[in-house]
Amino acid sequence: MPEKKIIITLDGWSGCGKSTLAKAMAKALGYVFVDSGAMYRAITLYFIRNQVDIADSVAIEKALAQIQLQFIFDSAKGSSDILMNGENVEDLIREMDVASRVSEVAAIARVRQFAVQQQQRLGEKKGIVMDGRDIGTVVFPQAELKIFMTADKEIRVQRRLKEFKEKNSALTAEMIRQNLEQRDYLDSNRAESPLRQAKDARVLDNSSLSPEQQLTLAMDWVREIIG
Number of residues that bind ligand DC (CB under 6 A): 14
Cβ contact 33:119 at 8 Å: no
In this structure, what are the phi and psi dihedrals at residue 9, rounded to the nearest 5 degrees?
A: -115, 140
Closer by beta carbon to ligand DC, 2 or else 63 = 63
- 136: contact with ligand DC by CB under 6 A: no
Give the x-and-dash track for 69-98 against ligand DC (CB under 6 A). Answer: ------------------------------
Closer by beta carbon to ligand DC, 23 or else 183 = 183
Q: Measuring CA to CA, how many Å separate 63 from each of 104, 110, 128?
A: 16, 11, 28
Beta bridge partners of 128: 7, 32
Choose one: 60-68, 131-139, 158-166, 169-177; the region binding ligand DC (CB under 6 A). 131-139
Most distant CA atoms of the chain, gap in Å: 53
Cβ contact 222:9 at 8 Å: no
Q: Measuring CA to CA, how many Å separate 1 from each of 4, 5, 84, 143, 178?
A: 9, 12, 39, 22, 50
* 137 three-class SS: helix
Least gap, CB of 224 to ligand DC (angstroms): 25
Choose one: 81-89, 133-141, 157-165, 197-205; the region binding ligand DC (CB under 6 A). 133-141
Looking only at residues 20 through 49 of this chain, which bind ligand DC when binding is defined by CB under 6 A?
Answer: 36-37, 40-41
Q: Exposed/middle/buried for 225, CB within 10 Å: 0-12, 13-18, 19+? A: exposed
Closer by beta carbon to ligand DC, 119 or else 218 = 119
Looking only at residues 174 through 213 of this chain, which bind ligand DC when binding is defined by CB under 6 A?
Answer: 183, 187
Q: Measuring CA to CA, how many Å separate 110 from each of 55, 62, 83, 94, 149?
A: 12, 11, 21, 23, 26
Least gap, CB of 61 to ligand DC (angstroms): 19
- 134: contact with ligand DC by CB under 6 A: yes
- According to CB under 6 A, which one of 23, 133, 146, 177 is a site residue for ligand DC? 133
**Contact positions vs ligand DC (CB under 6 A):** 14, 36-37, 40-41, 102-103, 106, 132-135, 183, 187
